[in-house]
Structure 1
Amino acid sequence: MDPLKQKLVARAQAEGFGLARICRPWDVPQVPGRLETFLDKGRHGQMQWMAERSHWRGDPSALWPEARSVIMLGESYTPAHDPLAVLERRSEGAISVYAQNRDYHDLVKKRLKRLARWLISETSDKTEVKVFVDTAPVPEKPLGAAAGLGWQGKHTNLVSRDLGSWFFIGSIFTTLDIEADAGEADHCGRCRACLDVCPTGAFPAPYQLDARRCISYLTIEHHGPVDAELRPLMGNRIYGCDDCLAVCPWNKFAQEAREVRYHARADLLGPPLAELAQLDDASFRAKFSGSPIKRIGVARFLRNVLYAIGNSGDPALVSTAQAHCDAEDATVADAARWAVERLQDVENRMDRSQNPA
């Protein structure tokens, strides 16, 4: 191995990255028509930025033509708990594992910047670098596959033989010419656990995602009311969804995240929906300070919480939902009325079963 590359990998591991591999900007595996089909069919939903910058996503070498190498890095956030257990506790909110503590964008970017500064100090002040972590039209998953971090599984996410599905991806583009690694082969085989577990059927086919049906998209990126047919399928998921990640068999090789700031906060492991519904803008911002959840704002968060209340089957939460029926935000008010109607139906069925005619 190139001595510089050897030191680079060691330094990346010292910074906390579990995986460090190299590829070329032009090494992105080309799956004919994958991105075009996704966009042409409107599967990106309201994420217009994906269409507007699709030329960079299809060809990352166009993002920065001077770059000669891309350092791809993976950092584990594997949970110690079963992330699917909360789905059975329907009066509690299910929050995606990655959002149960600090915002990974901030933590990963700081590590990337430290590693980039080290690289310049080890080479030359003429070395140029750019760091990215989900903040630019960089095709991180295809680049990760090209570098050998893992392969894009049937759920379209990157899977590692070492870290399973639970890891963040960061990249450092550089003008340095560093020895590249071999890409990773697909090891999904006949397994379709991730496809079969999806509650909304967001996978039209293996390796294809329709974001418009994905609960992660619906709870985070989607503005306004969610289609009525999808609301009952969301269950108590109020921010993101981990189902397809959690069932991946390759997770059996993953170990709990070393970074304690990725470990779940006790108050976010299954927060009572009744308490979350009481949050106003100020208390929402205070509770989720430093969390990625803060990005969606209190109105969208309350919308999600109210859908979960409607799916809880708990008539005791009717009054909690009723308190938002006249909310200033029309989407929140609509979600509240939907939740009240659902719970009143449950209450009526219970009364009929207890007092048959």
Structure 2
Amino acid sequence: MRNYSPRKRILVTGGAGFLGSHLIDRLLARGDEVVCADNLFTGAKRNIEHLHSHPRFEFIRHDVTFPLYIEVDQIYNLACPASPIHYQHDPVQTTKTSVHGAINLLGLAKRLKATIFQASTSEVYGDPAVHPQTEAYWGNVNPIGLRSCYDEGKRCAETLFFDYHRQHGLDIRVARIFNTYGPRMHPNDGRVVSNFIVQALKGDDITLYGDGQQTRSFCYVDDMIEGFLRFMDLPKGANGAPGFPGPINLGNPGEFTICQLAEKVIELTASKSKIVYHPLPTDDPMQRQPNIDLARKYLGGWEPEVQLVEGLLHTIKYFEKLFTRES
């Protein structure tokens, strides 16, 4: 591991994506060097175009299913399509990205003795029988369904991370990310917040699946990235022993029905869109709410601060500018 400079050199895989690009902004703002690796399957060059002339930023077009040879101090593994539309497009590749990607990056971290962060997901809980979800809950996941390439891929990646932690003493951080939204979301990713905002701004019908009473908890991107940084920067134990590995839930415990979200988006955009209902997709969970007691305990009292209306207004403004730019 490079230790001759107080400045960290950090690898962010999936760095041209929604979360990755926000994370890179924060890392650069605090003085780190950042290498962004992304194959641009779901990531977008526009998310990082403002960084191309930055002296401490480097972009590498790379697929994590292949090894990456680089020298860094920390690794954030955010590489994987995260919306059903994208991860079901090529489910075999999705599983390979989670599993082969984890193996390749864990091997890199082992060689470098680098701390490595895994962006896991609340989808490891499946359609939960426990509410809200705690990290001790093992989940209720269909291993052979349409969503399994993502759900089980992320579960297997967690297994690999903890086996490297136990077998090789690797310093890992595993975060289970709940629904996150904000500027730079992909306009066609099929996620509920971006779907509703895009439909409302275009005046299209807003599509709800099922009866709209299923619940989600929405965390604004700035709050999520703050959680990433606090988790990754936890000190190691005595004599350089690995620090707290997680898993740890990161999300906003505020819970809303999908119907409530749709109504709020219509109100904030002053849209004339109407709500229409479609059948519920297979294995779509009915409830999703994080218990964040562990995050509060270990991350210095970390707590999401941006309320839903404020975050939606920021996100709506982003999409308005995006559509103006593309028109």
- Structure of greater relative contact order (alpha carbons < 8 Å, 6+ residues apart): 1
Please give the TM-score of this superposition, normalised by the length of structure 2: 0.27
Larger Rg: 1
Which one has a larger percent helix, Structure 1 or Structure 2? 1
